[in-house]
Chain A
Amino acid sequence: MDKTNNDTAGHKSRYWKSVGQYSQNADASEAKAREFMQGVTEDFSPDDMSGISRKQFLALLSASAAFAAAGCTNYRDKGEIVPYNKKPEEVTLGKANYYASTCAGCEHACGILIKTREGRPIKIDGNPDHPVNQGKICAKGQASILNLYDPERLKEPQQKFSGMGFGKTTWKTADTAVVAALRSAVHNKKEIAVITHTIGSPTTKKVLNDFCAAYPGAKVYSYEVFTNDVRRKAWKHSTGTDTFPLIAWDKAKLILTLEADILGSDGNYIEQTRLFAQNRDAANPRSFSRLYAAEAGMTLTGMNADHRLRVRPDAQIELVLSLINEIVVNRKTSRFANDAALAAVVNGYSIGSFAKKYSLSENTLKCLADDLVAHTGEAIVYAGSTLPENVHTAVNLLNEALENSALYRKDQSAVSHIEHAAREEWEALIAGLNSGAVGAVIHFDANPVFHLAPEYGYADALKKVPSVALVESQNETSSLCTFVLPIHHAFESWNDFHTRTGIFSLQQPVINPLYDTRQKEAALLVWTAGNTDAYTDTIYHGYLKSRWQQEVHPAMNTAADFSAFWYASLENGVVGFTEPSASFAAAGAAVSIGTNQNGASDSFIVMLHDNYYIGDGRFANNGWLQEMTHPASKIVWDNYAAIAPATAKALGVKNYDLIELSGHGMKCLLPVYEQAGMAERVVAVALGYGRTVAGTVGTGVGVDAQKLLTKAGGVSPWLYADFSVSKGNGTYELVSTQEQHSLDDSFVKDLHFKREIIREGTLAEYEEHPGFIQDERHKPTTITKSVVYEGVKWAMSIDLNKCTGCGVCTASCNVENNIPVVGKDQVRRGRDMAWIRIDRYFSGTPEEPTVSVQPMLCQHCDNAPCENVCPVVATSHSPDGLNQMAYNRCVGTRYCSNNCPFKVRRFNFYDFRDQFADGIQQEAPLNMMHNPEVTVRSRGVMEKCTFCIQRIMEARQTAIMENRPLKGSDVTTACQQACPAQAIVFGDMNDKDSAVSQAIANDLGYSVLEELNVRPNVTYRARLKNV
C-alpha cells in the first residue's frame, strides 16, 4: 500500500456505500448500528394495528373478488374484417398471383415473374418462359423489391430553392419550368443534353427520338460504368462487323477465361452460369468441361476453375501471344500457320519464357496449349471486358485459328439501340456546359456525377445550367439539379425490351404507383408535347401499345388480332419472333494485332472491377444486397483493396491497414484485404461503393474508387498501371462472415478436408473408381432403433460441381423468409441472419489456393442435436422429417445453436428491424414487402431454415384440394427456384424415383460430419476437378 492510501484510511474508510457514509453524517452512523428500520422490531397488539373485524374482512374479500371478476367479464376486441367493396376478379385472398414482367436492374433486362399477394409484390423470380434467363434471376433482381418499398424513395417532385435546399413542388410547376427552359434553349440554339444509362427498349428509344425531334439540338448521351465496348471495338477491328457474338458455353469442352468473370460479373452471368453448369452435372461426370482461368483477382470464375493461373492484367497480352506462337507457329496449326506477318508479331513470346517470367507452372501452360489444340472447334478463349483492345484482338485471332468460331451462337445476338457516348462527346458536352452552349440537362435515371471520371469536371459544369433529374431517390447528380422529379419503380412501369435478337420482353406494372411519381418516359412525353396538361396515368402505356399495334404486331405475321396478341404477350412476358441474328465475318489475320506489344511492367497496377451485388452503386441503399457476402472474401458492407499476401508483406501492411494508392494525380485511401490467390503487385478494387448521397443505408458505405477513373484510361479504361502504393495512417475494420483460414498454420490448414466437411476428387480418380467417395464415407452404426418415416420425407441434395458460390440462393431466401438486414456492426459480432450461407474454404498455399464452396443451411438431421437440448421443446421433429422451430414457444436459451454442429441456427439478439439504422426497416411501406405466409420474428427467438415450410404447406393444400396425395415434386424451395446453376434438388426421399433420391444415391453423394450420426437430410455431391 502506498502512502496516500494510508493517509486516506486514517480518517475515512476506503470504500463507502453512500455519500452519507463517506461524509460520516450522524443519521448514516445511526442506521448502520441498527439491523432493522425503526419500529419494525417493536411490540405490537393486532387490535391496535387493525380496526377491521372479521366480518368486514370477509366482505372486503368477496367484494374485491367480484370486482376482479367483473373487470375480466369483457371480451377482447378482435378488430375488424374489412372486405373489398368490389373485389377485383383476379384476386383470391390468401392466394398469390404471378405477373410476367422484365427486370430493369441492369442492362440485361431479364424476364421476371412477380409474385403478388392481395396486390402487393412480395417476391421476384425469373420468368421460366424467358429464353435468356430461363426462370432464374440474379441477387440484384431478387432484392430489387426492397427498392420498390424503400422508405427513402422520393414521394413528390422537388425543387431547389436558392440557398434553402430542396422543397416540395408540383409536377405542373416542374413541367412548366422544364418546358420553358427547353424552349429557351431551342430559341437560343443551345444544346439540350439527355443523359441516360443503356437504353434497352425500342419504345424508350422512340420517345427519345420524338423528344429530339421536338427540341432540335437535343442529344442523347448514354453510358455505363462497365461496358462491353472494348470487346466490341476489337471485334470490329478483327472482323469488320459490329456485334460480338454470344458464346455457346454449354457446347464448350474447354474454356479459357482471361480476367473474364463469366460466372460473376462479365455479361449475363445468370445465363452463363446455367450454360456452364450444364456440363458440371454429378449425374454425368464424364461430360465435364474443363475451365482454365487466367486472372489477377480472385473471382467467382477463378474460384470454380480447374486450373487457375495468376496473371497480371497487363501480362494477358503476353499470354495470348505466347499461346498463338506455340499453337499457330510452333505446332503449325490452322490456316495462319504460314502467315509470316503473324509469326513476326508473336516472335519472342513463348509459353516457356512467359511461365518463367511470372513464375507459373510451364507444365500447366503446355497442358493448356495441348488442350486447346486437342479441342479445336469446341474450345473457347474469352477475354474479360476490362482488358485492353489488343488482348481482345489477339483472342479473336486465336479463336479463329482454333476454329472456335463454331461456338459463336448463331441463334441469338445482342441488340444495341443507342451507342454509348464516346470520350470526345463527353468532353464536348462538358465544354458546352462550361461555355453556355448547352442550355439544359435532363438526367434520365442516371448518375453521371458519381459515375464519370472526376477529370471531366462534370459536377462543376452541371451547376452552370438548369438541370433536371428523373430519379427514384436522391443521388449525387440529382442533389445538384434544379428539379428532382420522382419516377416509377420498374414494378410500377410499362415498357418493352429488346436486348437479344428475336426476343421482346415486356414490362408491366404490378402495383399502382405508391407515390406521386411518373414513369420517366411519360415525363419526357409531356415535355415533348410541350403541354403541361398532357399527362395522364396511361400516357406511356398508350404510347407503348400504339407502337406495338403499328410496328410490332404487323411484323409478327400472326393470325391473332392485336388485342389478343397484346394480352397474350403480356401474359407470357416475352414474345419470340424471327429475326436474323448478327452475322459475323471471320477474324482477320495478323494485321489485326499491332506489332508493338509492350508487356507488363513491374509497377503496381490498379484493377477497378465490377462488384457482385450493388451494381454501379444504384443498389447502395439496399441493405439486403450490402449484406450479401463477397464470394471470395466473405466481406460485407465494404469494398477494399485486395492484394496478394506476399505483396502485403512487401508493403509492410496486414489486413485492415489503410493503404494509399496514388497515380495520375489521384489518391485513394483503402483498407487492405490480403486475398489469397491474387497476382502480386496488383490491387483489385470494386467500384460502386462510396456513395455520398444514397439514403440512410447506402451513404458512406465503402470507398469511392470511381475517382481513380480517367478520361483516357490506363492500360484500359479500368486498368491503371504505374501506381504507387504506400502504407497509410490508421486502420479500418472490414467485416467478414468467414475468416480466411491461415494457409500456413498446420493446425487449421485444410481443416475442411480433415473434418470431411468438403470431399473432393478429380475426374481421373472417379473414372478409375467411381465409388471412391462412398469408400471414404463413415458408416455409423447405432444400437437404438431409428424412427421410420412413412409417407413423404423431405430431403435436399446440393451438387457442389454445379454450385459456383454466387449467393443467389441467399438473396432469394432473404426475400422469401422475411429475413432482416442487421448491419455491419452486428455481422461483426457474428449475428448475420442468412438462413443459407455459402461457406468458402481455401486450401493449398496463399499464392496458389484452391477454393471450395459449400452452401450451408439447416441439415434437418434425423437425430437432430438441437432438439434434445431445448428446455421448452420449441424445436422438435415432424413426421415428414423436418426439424421444426416454433417461435412462440422459444424462450431464447440458445442451447440449440450451441449444440448445432453446422452452426446454422440464427438468433434474434435484437428486433433487428428496430435496431438497424434507427428502425428504417419498420418504416412504411416496408411492412408491405413481407411474405404474409412467414412469421416476422421478434427479439429473443431462434430461427433457421424451414425447408420453406410455407411452400410445403401450400403444396399440401393444393393436393388436398385436388384430392390426391402430396408428391415431393410439388414443392420447390426458394433457394432451389433461384439457383442459376440448378445445383439444388429438393423432394421426397422416400420416393425412390424422385430426382432427390437419385441425387442422394449418386456415387458422389455424402453428408457433412457423418461420424456424428446426426443423419442430415441434406446431402452434397462431391466436387470433381477436371484436371
Chain B
Amino acid sequence: MKKSFLDYVLKIRLPIVLFVALSSFALTYFVSRPERDGVGYEPEQPIAFSHKLHAGTMAIDCKYCHADVTKSRHAMVPPVATCMNCHSVARKNKPEIIKLTQYFAEGKPLMWKRIHKVPDFAYFNHSVHVNKGIECQSCHGNVQEMDVVRQSNSFTMANCLDCHRNAPTVLTYVPNVKKGPDNCFACHR
C-alpha cells in the first residue's frame, strides 16, 4: 500500500498532537490546582498589617475588628476608623501606622487586596455560620499565625459541601452539630 500524506497525518501527527495536548492538560490540571482555587494566595497589602501580632500575640478577638460577622452576611473589613481606635495613641511613630494615619486623615479609601472570595453565584452568609459556633479558622485557616494573610482552604462548592454533609465528623469541636443544608437554594438564588 502506498504511504500517503493522509496516512502521515492520521497515524503520526494526530496521535502526537493528542498526546501532547492531553499530557499537558493533565500535568497543568494537577500542578495548578491550588492556584486555580486560590489556595496559597498571599498578596501584598497596602499596609503591612500582621494578624499574627494582633490576633495571635495580643489575642484581640476577631470580632473586635470584623464586628458584623455575627449580624450580617459580610464579616466586614474594618473601617480605618476602627484601627484608629488604638493607633491614634499606640505606635504612632511606626512607618506603617504613619501611612494608616494618613489614610484616615485624608479620608482616602484603603484598598485591601481581596483574598477570600466565594463565586459570584453563591450567597454565603457569615452570621449563620458564626452564630452556630463555627470558628473562623475552620475556613480561613490559622490566621492568628499569619504575618501576611494567605488563603489556606479552597472556596469551592466541593469544599462547602464537604463540611455541610459531614459536619459531625469535620466540625467535632461544635457541640451537637448537625448537617448543613445541601439544597440549591441554601446558597444559590
Contacts and interface: CB of A to CB of B under 8 A. Distances in A.
Interface of A: 36, 39-46, 49, 57, 61, 64-65, 68-69, 72-76, 78-87, 92-95, 876-879, 882, 884-889, 933-935, 946, 949-950, 952-953, 956-957, 960-961, 963
B94 interface: no
Contact of B8 (A44, A81, A85, A946): A44
A45 B112 CA distance: 62
A859 B117 CA distance: 34
A886 B184 contact: yes
A887 B79 contact: no
A84 B79 contact: yes
Task: Report which residue of A76, A882, A934 has the largest number of chain B beta carbons within 10 angstroms of its beta carbon.
Answer: A76
Given A40-B5, A85-B103, A949-B189, A79 B131 contact: no
Contact of A93 (B27, B31, B72): B72
Interface string B67-80: 01011111011111
B59 interface: no
A73 B31 contact: yes
B3 A81 contact: no
A599 B32 CA distance: 88
A44 B77 contact: no
Contacts of B181: 879
Contact of B112 (A80, A87, A935, A950): A80
Given A68-B24, A84-B79, A92-B71, A41 B121 contact: no
Contacts of A952: 185
B81 interface: yes
Nearest to A66: B27
A876 B76 contact: no
Given A41-B6, A83-B80, A961 B127 contact: yes
Contact of A85 (B32, B38, B108, B114): B108
21 contacts: A44-B8, A65-B24, A65-B28, A72-B28, A72-B35, A75-B41, A81-B113, A83-B80, A85-B103, A85-B107, A86-B104, A93-B68, A93-B74, A884-B185, A887-B121, A888-B119, A888-B121, A888-B188, A950-B189, A953-B189, A960-B127
Contact of B71 (A39, A73, A889, A961): A961
A872 to B, nearest CB: 12
A46 B8 contact: yes
Contact of B4 (A40, A65, A80): A40
Contacts of A85: 79-81, 103-104, 107-110
Given A888-B121, A953-B189, A94 B73 contact: yes
B123 interface: yes
Given A78-B114, A83-B110, A85-B79, A39 B5 contact: yes
B98 interface: no
A65 B27 contact: yes
Interface string B25-41: 00110011001101011
A118 to B, nearest CB: 10
Interface in B96-148: 103-104, 107-115, 117, 119, 121, 123, 125, 127-128, 131-132
Contact of B12 (A46, A64, A933, A953): A46
Contact of B185 (A49, A80, A882): A882
A42 B186 CA distance: 63
B114 A41 contact: no
Nearest to B23: A65
Nearest to A36: B6
Contact of B111 (A42, A82, A882, A946): A82
Contacts of A45: 3
Nearest to A961: B131
Contacts of A887: 121, 188
B174 interface: no
Contacts of B72: 92-95
B52 to A, nearest CB: 20
Contacts of A879: 181, 183
B20 interface: yes
B31 to A, nearest CB: 5
B79 A43 contact: no
A963 B131 contact: yes
A946 B189 CA distance: 8
Contacts of A949: 185, 189
A499 to B, nearest CB: 38
A39 B9 CA distance: 12
A83 B79 contact: yes
Interface in B32-55: 32, 35-36, 38, 40-41, 43
A69 B123 contact: no
A76 B151 CA distance: 12
A952 B79 CA distance: 30
Contact of A886 (B4, B110, B188): B188
A335 B112 CA distance: 83
A950 B123 CA distance: 9
A318 B114 CA distance: 76
A92 B71 CA distance: 8
Nearest to A947: B185
B148 to A, nearest CB: 14
A64 B16 CA distance: 13
Contacts of A933: 123, 189
Given A85-B79, A85-B104, A933-B123, A960 B189 contact: no
A963 B70 CA distance: 12
Contacts of A885: 184
B64 to A, nearest CB: 14
A935 B121 contact: yes
Contacts of A960: 127-128, 131-132
Contacts of B40: 75
A74 B132 contact: no
A176 to B, nearest CB: 34
A64 to B, nearest CB: 6
A61 B4 CA distance: 26
Given A73-B35, A75-B35, A86-B107, A935 B189 contact: yes
Contact of B38 (A76, A946, A957, A961): A76
A941 to B, nearest CB: 10
B5 A72 contact: no
Interface string B1-20: 01111111000100010001
A884 B8 contact: no
Contact of B5 (A44, A73, A94, A963): A44
Nearest to B72: A94
A960 B5 CA distance: 70
A961 to B, nearest CB: 5
B8 A82 contact: no
B146 to A, nearest CB: 16
Contacts of B3: 43-45
A41 B5 contact: yes
Interface string B56-92: 0000000000001011111011111100000000000
Nearest to B8: A44
A73 B3 CA distance: 43
A68 B28 contact: yes
Contact of A878 (B74, B109, B111, B184): B184
B32 A72 contact: yes
Task: Report which residue of A81, A933, A946 has the largest number of chain B beta carbons within 10 angstroms of its beta carbon.
Answer: A81
A446 B91 CA distance: 61
A42 B80 contact: no
Nearest to A817: B189
A83 B77 contact: yes
Given A69-B32, A82-B109, A957-B125, A64 B74 contact: no
Contacts of B8: 44, 46, 49
Contact of B78 (A46, A83, A886): A83
A93 B81 CA distance: 16
A956 B80 CA distance: 31
Contacts of A889: 184, 188
A957 B127 contact: yes
Contact of A86 (B81, B184, B186, B189): B81
A82 B110 contact: yes
B39 to A, nearest CB: 9
